[in-house]
Amino acid sequence: MHNLHQRYDGLVFDMDGTLADTMPTHYNAWSQSMALHGIEFSEERFYQLGGVPALHIVKMLAEEQDVVLKESIEAIAHAKEELFIELASNVQPIAEVMAIAEAHRGLMPMAIATGSETWMAEKILTALGVLDWFGAIVGAGCVNQPKPAPDTFLLAAKRIGVDPGRCHAFEDTQIGITAAQSAGMDVVDVNTLRGRPLEGAGL
């Protein structure tokens, strides 16, 4: 994994759950935000709903628990994102994947292909001190078709000037792996590097 520049021309990394261990922080923000509105949100349920848009989650939980919301769903989802931003400095790197990125920094172009918004990805990568390692960050607002469509990975490869077929991708979810493979990239499930099972969904 530390001599990929001999076989590929570019590396493309997912961020959430791949380079950055953001999920515990997302759950912290969700549980605090929902508690303010009298809604319970278990950690098990949170991971089951990985990749589901925030607006859908708020609406679903409120209906299931017969909670009458005093604010709009949009306002509640926005407040959750604001709290996540406050907590973002607590996000930890995923060491096994970060080591691969560090080993190839400066040897070949690298990009981020994420389901998070680009500005959010930039904030987290800045907090981790690695923003300048990546020549491009392709976030949710950059493409019309999100993962599992290949568009995010195709645009990431284009922005670093590398043929997608000459890129190696890193992902932690089946949705992301499908997207990278559909773009023509070789892809590694980073859970195998960490000795963990594949997550069902994610960003």
Tens of pLDDT along 112-163?
Answer: 999 888 988 999 999 999 999 999 999 988 999 888 899 999 999 999 999 9
Q: Which domain holds residue 66?
A: 24-89
In this structure, the answer to whether residues 85 and 96 fall within a common structural domain is no
Q: Does 134 fall in a domain?
A: yes
**Is pLDDT at 104 greater than 80 in this prediction?**
yes
Q: Which residue has the tokens 């089946």?
A: 174
- The span from the CA of 131 to the CA of 138, in Å, is 13
Give the β-pairing of 10-13 and 167-171.
parallel
Residue 3: which pLDDT band, with cuts at 50, 70 and 90? confident
Residue 14: active-site member? yes
Considering 9, 14, 66, 189, which one is annotated as catalytic?
Answer: 14
CATH number of the domain encompassing residue 143? 3.40.50.1000
Q: Does 45 fall in a domain?
A: yes
- Percent of the chain whose predicted confidence (pLDDT) is above 90: 69
**Is pLDDT at 201 greater than 50 in this prediction?**
no
Q: Does 44 fall in a domain?
A: yes
Q: Does 199 fall in a domain?
A: no
- Percent of the chain whose predicted confidence (pLDDT) is above 70: 95
- Phi then psi for residue 164, to 5 deg, are -55, -35
In this structure, the answer to whether residues 151 and 68 fall within a common structural domain is no
- The span from the CA of 165 to the CA of 141, in Å, is 24
Stated as kind and residue range, the H or E segment containing 45 is helix 43-48
Domain boundary, last residue among 89, 116, 133: 89
Domain boundary, last residue among 37, 59, 89: 89
CATH number of the domain encompassing residue 69? 1.10.150.240
In this structure, the answer to whether residues 137 and 67 fall within a common structural domain is no
In DSSP notation, 73-116 reads HHHHHHHHHHHHHHHGGGPEE-HHHHHHHHHHTTTS-EEEE-SS
Q: Which residues contact 128 (CB under 8 A, 6 or more apart)?
A: 19, 20, 91, 93, 98
Residue 203: which pLDDT band, with cuts at 50, 70 and 90? low
- State pTM to two decimals: 0.83
User: How many domains is the chain built from?
Assistant: 2
**Is pLDDT at 199 greater than 60 in this prediction?**
no
Which residue type, as a one-letter code, is found at position 153? F
